[in-house]
Amino acid sequence: MRKRGASALDRKQLDGRYARLRADVGLMQVPRGGWLRALRSALGMRQRDLGSRLGVSAQAVGQLEAREVEGTVTLGALRDAAHAMGAEVFYVVLPEAPVAATLDERAEAVARVLARQVHHSMRIEDQETSESERLDRIRELKQTLLRTPSMLWTLPGDT
């Protein structure tokens, strides 16, 4: 059976990895001129030398380094250049907040929207609920949503 999403344990482990990366985020800051240029220079390699290893011109290497700085380089091109210098490429998509916190915040927001819709319908039918009942409904909805996180991202009219 195919797994549909990350389990709570998977998310916790991923958050742990992200926390360690976040602690050393300064190490991942791109050096002036980019990583390719920094390593090539540190190795004493000219653009012509790297180009020869890649089967391209020195000008093409300069363009590759410029694309890295601009953020338009492909991962494949980065990998090829890195391998030509005896290096590896790693990349990460690092969320601004822990995944668990993002899910909790989103579940709270969606639960409030859904509870407000129910509250509005009940009021129209002259069956308005109390504030404590509304808060209980929000808590219940939030727990349900957290058990099925895919439901958090399909709120109509939400972008």
- Predicted confidence band of residue 1 (pLDDT cuts 50, 70, 90): very low
Residue 134: per-residue pLDDT:
82
Of 45-49, 86-90, 121-125, 154-158, the range with the lowest mean pLDDT is: 121-125
Q: What is the mean pLDDT of the chain?
A: 88
Encode pLDDT of 42-73 as tens digits.
999 999 999 999 999 999 999 999 999 999 99
Does pLDDT of 128 surpass 90?
Answer: no
Encode pLDDT of 18-45 as tens digits.
999 999 988 889 999 999 999 999 999 9
pTM value is 0.73
Encode pLDDT of 90-103 as tens digits.
989 999 999 999 99
The radius of gyration computed from the CA coordinates of the chain, to the nearest angstrom, equals: 25
The answer to whether 110 touches 152, Cβ cutoff 8 Å, is yes
What does the alpha-carbon distance between residue 66 and residue 68 come to, in Å, rounded to a whole number?
Answer: 5
1.10.287, 3.30.70, 1.10.3470, 1.10.260: which CATH number matches 9-84?
1.10.260
What does the alpha-carbon distance between residue 61 and residue 55 come to, in Å, rounded to a whole number?
Answer: 10
Residue 156 DSSP code: T
What does the alpha-carbon distance between residue 151 and residue 155 come to, in Å, rounded to a whole number?
Answer: 8
Q: Where in the chain is the domain with CATH 1.10.260?
A: 9-84
Residue 1: what residue type? M
Q: How many CA atoms lie within 13 A of 159 on its CB side?
A: 0
Alpha helices by DSSP H, the chain: 8-23, 35-42, 47-54, 58-70, 75-84, 99-124, 131-147
Please indicate whether residue 149 or residue 52 has the higher confidence score (pLDDT): 52
